[in-house]
Structure 1
Amino acid sequence: MDHTHSSHRLIKGAFLLTLSGLIGKVLSAGYRIPLQNIAGDIGFYIYQQVYPILGMAMMLALYGFPVAISKLVSELKDQGVTLTLRSFYIPAFTWLLGICGAIFLFGFTQAHHLARVMGDEALTPSLQAAFFVFLLLPVTSLIRGVFQGQGRMEPTAVSQVAEQLVRVVMIIGTALYVTRIGDIYQIGVGGALSSILGTITASIVLLVLWRRHSRFEQGAAPLPAISFSKTIFFYGLFICLNYMLLLLIQLVDSLTIVPQLVEVGYIPEDAKGTKGVFDRGQPLIQLGTVLASSLALALVPSVTRKRKDKNPDQVHQYIFGAVKYSFLIAVGAAAGLITLFPLVNELFFQNADGTGYLRILMIVILFSSLAITMSSVLQGLEKVVHTAFVIIGAVVMKYLLNVWWVGEFGMYGAAAASVVAVAFVVLCHVLLLHTDFSLKEWARLPWFATIGAAVSMAAVLFAIEALRAEIDGRLALLVYALVIIALGAAIYLILLIRLGALQQKELEPLPFGDWLVKLIPGGRNV
């Protein structure tokens, strides 16, 4: 009974963590739309130059370090070691502080050089401010990790949502303030400050919960025979790389786009504005990827090496199901956004600038969703190092392509470089999976039905958009956009079912499942 209770609690906790992650990611993507509206393309460019650093700090504090700490906690439990100050808290905190302190020192002292590489030395104070966030990570990471190691996911979930809410309110407030005083570069410092205050909020929430649930054990405990440094470095940094794919690609764009544009004759102010327009694609990619990978990631915890050896058929089903859901949603989201991009651009960002290359950038949603889903599967199969090296390879490829293509093809080159780099990750993951999941099995994915449904949906949406009269006012435009998006989603889902991409057992758990099953050609199938 006790085992059932604890496994039920673990599933509930994992669901909570997924839900809070979803809320956090939607908030994180969503606030950048009003931010661009308030601060304009130049203000948005300044924030996006700093954002990858803030995003990486957040990933380490949410995924990397807590996973490492929770692993240490469970290893110590297995050894029968009590978590005392001497046996656990001091060494774990010291290692976390050492790593984060080193990142801060390096970043803070090199901020001027980094700004020069970005082609904009006025970014130096913003970059310096951003690296301060790393000094606050040890507290949140340690407490989240201890709770997760005890199977308690609620504190991580609550603290994450609180942190994001504070960040969002602060950054929007900062944007309103700096546009009023006219010192637009302060938006980068404000972004860093909002992250710092968000992290402090998370620390307070976690400390209150920790005081309520935990106590330091008194007395000396035997020093554990496990390596803190190896676990924290290896799990903390390597696991995190898989979550950082999109952030690292944005970092490469921050370092290369403006210098490359200036080199081919843009005046610096135009280059910054163009980069700001290009960055409009990032929140949309983030929302699309979250949408496509969240459902799939719910299946992924069921994929472990132990289960694979014990019950290979069931794990095959989980892997195939996770990738299939991710593929179906990502194709629909990418096709819909590409078709409706002029409308989306006008609605969210107030004009149609950059529609051509931003449409190409939307293809990233398809590959990034598959990459995240597959890397989580590979982690379950204990291929953490492999996936980390693939990410590093993709970032190097993106950098080289940016240097080559941005000068040659402008922002179309930057968009294509992102697509190629993320597609490279998917290709490598397919090859890495092939010992557990043969290449031939991917032929079972409903390729024809999915492409047919996506093309048909795009054609209908394109025809409706072509016939649309001018709509006055953003509210009217928003209502129209929501109606046409809902229509597109309905057409896509109905066509997927009619063309045989979804089976009865996959439809039944969905909302209105009984009604959807009736759409299957030839009635119900098993």
Structure 2
Amino acid sequence: MTEHKSRTIFKGAFILTVAGLISKILSAGYRVPLQNITGDLGFYIYQQVYPILGIAVILSLYGFPAAISKLVSEISEEHKTLSFPSFFIPVFLWMAGICGLIFIIGYSQASTIAAVMGDMKLVPSLRSAFFVFLLVPFVSLFRGVFQGGNQMGPTASSQIIEQLIRVSIIIATAVWVMRSERLYAIGIGASTAALAGALGAILVLVLYARKHQMWSYQRWESSISYIKTILFYGLFICFNYMMLLSLQLVDAFTLVRGLIDFGVDLDSARVSKGIFDRGQPLIQLGTVLASSIALALIPSVTKPRLKKNPELVKGYMFTATKFSLVVAAGATVGLIVLFPEINRLFFQSEDGTQVLRLLSIVILFTSLAITTSSILQGLGYVTHTAVYVLAAILFKTLCNLWLIPYLGLEGAAAASLIAVVFVWLANVITLRKHFPIKKWLELPWSSIVIASIGMVLLLMFLRVLGGLVVELDHRAVLLFYTLSLTGLGAILYFVLLFITGAFTKAELKQIPFHDKWGEFLPKGRIR
């Protein structure tokens, strides 16, 4: 690989990382005003439909485009141009067949799905959600072809536009359903928003495509299997991105019924599910923050690079894991301490604070699981990571069925934690050849413990002081108060990490403004 091509690939990976970060922040952020507008019951309705829409988005953003990108690369190695009759049409038809089958099954079985969820009022929302799969082949084909040519700008732009359109329509729908008192229409509105977002993405991609000659009409034969790459490689790539979404899907099917078995009436069970789902945007945001820096380093971890320069690649693995661990640990501990204020600020009540504190621990292990899964995929262990997520879904389902009837919402939180811990441990064991178990002992555990204790003590002191000095009845005051505590806690946490030697100067060069951060390092750890 030439140096220029290598720089192009890393630049493209960085563009997609930034676009993904913006998109995920939007995806996490809009659910706070959505819950504020529609209440916990409206949020429950939306969250019952959301996993289905999320699967369609992940297929169109990660799974199928990655598979098509791989096909484009293989065809390019055969020195062939992309042919409309020999490539575009068969690839599109295979994807259309897969997505069409999902639509037909989902639409026709919407009543059965709603019955399993324990809420027949969800049938129209579920039927509308499966229409989104019909647009997946169009979006995926364009994105995959562009990515196969190392052009990441079209995918990044279409992703952000898609998210902006979707978020705008969902919030507008939430306002409308509350005025019209048709709360269950929020599910249909969410599906409409996803359809509109996908159409917006297609328009952006078409505009990009008009500037490029993307195909010829010359027919040719190839030994490459389209269906094998699309079906297996495309779907397996998705699983790493669908871990949190899959857990939400399991909760959508099992949580309400489990709460009824726990002794809660149906209406209260729906509201309780909405309260439990308050944790999802916070987990998503915490995971994004913890894994974004780590994932930016992952493109450097590939099997060919490992063979060529094993020490350098293993250094990237260690640094990526360290960044993910320290940020996830700080976010988890800080969220647990400040959850009463955060719950009241974002969701206007402290309902469910204790169970959501337990659920917050998922941030730590999900971040580590995503980071290690990404490393494994870079090294070619795509099938392994997919199998582990599938096993985690099974564990989550069984634990939900077993724990929720006895423990209620705490059982659902514990089941999620068990599932993500399993994925992380499975990844650690699989990665042990390239990242030995003893390397985990070299991570800055003592620095993390000291920094966490220091942050907790500061936050507890400031909470007591704030309770004596400030009245937190107004939301604006609560916002300033919570942001101040969050900022001061984060600053102390990272300062303590630096002065206890959690990072080396070489590692800090991987993050922005590394020359400033290096001033905090103790001299004995600079190298």
With the length of structure 1 as denominator, give the TM-score of the two structures.
0.97
In the TM superposition, what are the counterparts of 1:35-74 in structure 2 within 5 Å?
35-74=34-73
Deviations 1:250-303 (A, max 9, x none): 000111110011122211110000000000000000000000101001111111
Secondary structure in 1 aligned to 2:472?
A: coil
- The residue number in structure 1 matching 2:131 is 132
Q: Does 1:400 align with 2:401?
A: no
In the TM superposition, what are the counterparts of 1:9-88 in structure 2 within 5 Å?
9-88=8-87
Name the stretch that deviates more: 347-356 or 430-439. 430-439
Deviations 1:39-96 (A, max 9, x none): 0000000000000011111000000000000100111111122211121011100101
In the TM superposition, what are the counterparts of 1:293-372 in structure 2 within 5 Å?
293-372=291-370
> Aligned pair count?
524
From 244, 247, 256, the equivalent of 2:245 is 247
Q: Cα offset for 1:459? A: 1.9
Name the stretch that deviates more: 493-502 or 243-252. 493-502
Q: Cα offset for 1:436? A: 1.7
- The residue number in structure 2 matching 1:494 is 495
From 201, 210, 230, the equivalent of 1:232 is 230
Decide whether aligned partners of structure 1 residues 112 and 210 sit closer, same or farther in structure 2, where only a CA change above 3 A counts: same
Deviations 1:480-504 (A, max 9, x none): 1111111011000011012111112
Deviations 1:219-247 (A, max 9, x none): x3212111000000111101101110000
Identity %: 53
- The residue number in structure 1 matching 2:152 is 153
Report the AA paired with residue 260 of structure 1: G
- The residue number in structure 1 matching 2:208 is 209
- The residue number in structure 1 matching 2:481 is 480
Query: 2:280, 2:15 → 1: CA distance?
Result: 26
Query: 1:215, 1:494 → 2: CA distance?
Result: 51
Report the AA paired with residue 70 of structure 1: S
Q: Cα offset for 1:472? A: 3.0
Query: 1:160, 1:214 → 2: CA distance?
Result: 22
- The residue number in structure 2 matching 1:385 is 383
In the TM superposition, what are the counterparts of 1:384-463 in structure 2 within 5 Å?
384-463=382-461
Report the AA paired with residue 192 of structure 1: S
Q: Cα offset for 1:4? A: 3.8
Secondary structure in 2 aligned to 1:213?
A: coil
Secondary structure in 2 aligned to 1:518?
A: helix
- The residue number in structure 1 matching 2:373 is 375
Q: 1:518, 1:524 within 8 Å by CA — same for their partners in 2?
A: no
Q: 2:499, 2:520 within 8 Å by CA — same for their partners in 1?
A: yes
Query: 1:156, 1:250 → 2: CA distance?
Result: 26
Decide whether aligned partners of structure 1 residues 68 and 473 sit closer, same or farther in structure 2, where only a CA change above 3 A counts: same
Secondary structure in 2 aligned to 1:415?
A: helix
Query: 2:462, 2:215 → 1: CA distance?
Result: 64
Query: 1:342, 1:93 → 2: CA distance?
Result: 49
Q: Cα offset for 1:450? A: 0.7
Q: 1:82, 1:221 within 8 Å by CA — same for their partners in 2?
A: no
Q: 1:260, 1:406 within 8 Å by CA — same for their partners in 2?
A: yes
Q: 1:13, 1:154 within 8 Å by CA — same for their partners in 2?
A: yes
Secondary structure in 2 aligned to 1:382?
A: coil
From 447, 466, 476, the equivalent of 1:468 is 466
Unaligned ranges ≥5, structure 1: none
Secondary structure in 2 aligned to 1:500?
A: coil
Q: 1:27, 1:168 within 8 Å by CA — same for their partners in 2?
A: yes
Decide whether aligned partners of structure 1 residues 512 and 136 sit closer, same or farther in structure 2, where only a CA change above 3 A counts: closer
Report the AA paired with residue 320 of structure 1: F
Q: 1:53, 1:131 within 8 Å by CA — same for their partners in 2?
A: yes
Query: 2:450, 2:400 → 1: CA distance?
Result: 33
Q: Cα offset for 1:517? A: 2.6
Query: 2:203, 2:93 → 1: CA distance?
Result: 20
Deviations 1:423-467 (A, max 9, x none): 110000000001222111211101111122112211211221133
Decide whether aligned partners of structure 1 residues 455 and 394 sit closer, same or farther in structure 2, where only a CA change above 3 A counts: same
Query: 2:516, 2:215 → 1: CA distance?
Result: 55
Report the AA paired with residue 34 of structure 1: P
Report the AA paired with residue 79 of structure 1: E
Report the AA paired with residue 443 of structure 2: L
Report the AA paired with residue 175 of structure 2: L
Q: 1:81, 1:224 within 8 Å by CA — same for their partners in 2?
A: no
Q: 2:498, 2:521 within 8 Å by CA — same for their partners in 1?
A: yes
Query: 2:98, 2:181 → 1: CA distance?
Result: 37
Q: 1:59, 1:243 within 8 Å by CA — same for their partners in 2?
A: yes
Q: Cα offset for 1:510? A: 4.4
Query: 2:45, 2:145 → 1: CA distance?
Result: 36
Report the AA paired with residue 27 of structure 1: L
Q: 2:335, 2:357 within 8 Å by CA — same for their partners in 1?
A: yes
Query: 2:304, 2:524 → 1: CA distance?
Result: 39
Query: 1:415, 1:68 → 2: CA distance?
Result: 34
- The residue number in structure 2 matching 1:107 is 106
Query: 2:302, 2:19 → 1: CA distance?
Result: 24
Report the AA paired with residue 50 of structure 2: Y
Q: Cα offset for 1:378? A: 0.3
Report the AA paired with residue 506 of structure 1: E
Report the AA paired with residue 290 of structure 2: A
Query: 1:513, 1:4 → 2: CA distance?
Result: 25
Q: 2:330, 2:452 within 8 Å by CA — same for their partners in 1?
A: yes
Unaligned ranges ≥5, structure 2: none
Q: Cα offset for 1:134? A: 0.3
Query: 2:111, 2:189 → 1: CA distance?
Result: 18
Query: 1:507, 1:323 → 2: CA distance?
Result: 14
Query: 1:435, 1:153 → 2: CA distance?
Result: 33
Query: 1:431, 1:66 → 2: CA distance?
Result: 29
Report the AA paired with residue 123 of structure 2: T
Q: Cα offset for 1:9? A: 2.6
Q: 1:166, 1:198 within 8 Å by CA — same for their partners in 2?
A: yes
Q: Cα offset for 1:511? A: 4.9
